[in-house]
Amino acid sequence: MKRTWTIIGVGDVVASFNWYQMLFGQPGTLPAHDHFGQIADADGTVLLCLHQWGVHEHPSLMSPDAGTPGNGLLLFFLVDDFDQALPRARALVPQLEEEPHVNPATQTWEFSLRDPDGYYVTISATGRQEDYLAG
């Protein structure tokens, strides 16, 4: 199996690390470095990498001023605890970007919010509408 390690530039790795851990309902830990962290599932699967802007010489991670953060990028996560993810998400932001609804293409429940750096994050249930009832 092949997996991607999506890496996004963030202003504060520790704060973003904590934000994503809260969103995913994971126990709070610290990233390995103050300039880089990997959000991993319980089985060690890397879900998302967070990279401090301007650290190292990665051309596309030098500065958020070189473009609009999140432009052209949608972070889309399938979760198996959709009903628990929704109140966690509501606790993280003043308002969701999209309230829970059934995506007509996938027939799954989903909602969207913005992370602390402005990235658009969609959370989707793993089951189809007829298999899953959202609260």
- As a whole number of angstroms, the distance between CA 39 and CA 44 comes to 9
Determine the 3-state secondary structure of 59 from DSSP. Answer: helix
- As a whole number of angstroms, the distance between CA 38 and CA 58 comes to 17
Task: Specify the DSSP element, H or E, that contains 83.
Answer: helix 82-92
What pLDDT does residue 48 have? Answer: 96
Q: 7-131: what fold? A: 2,3-Dihydroxybiphenyl 1,2-Dioxygenase; domain 1 (3.10.180)
- As a whole number of angstroms, the distance between CA 112 and CA 3 comes to 23
What pLDDT does residue 110 have? Answer: 96
DSSP string, 97-118: SEEEEE-TTT--EEEEEE-TT-
Domain range summary for the chain, segments of one domain joined by + = 7-131
Q: What is the CA radius of gyration of the chain?
A: 15
Dig out the tokens for 10 from the structure: 């963030």
Low-confidence ranges of the chain (pLDDT < 70): 1, 128-135
Angle at 67 between CA 63 and CA 70, to 5 degrees: 95
Contact of 86 with 43, CB cutoff 8 Å: no
What pLDDT does residue 116 have? Answer: 96
pLDDT in tens, 29-49: 999 999 999 999 999 999 999
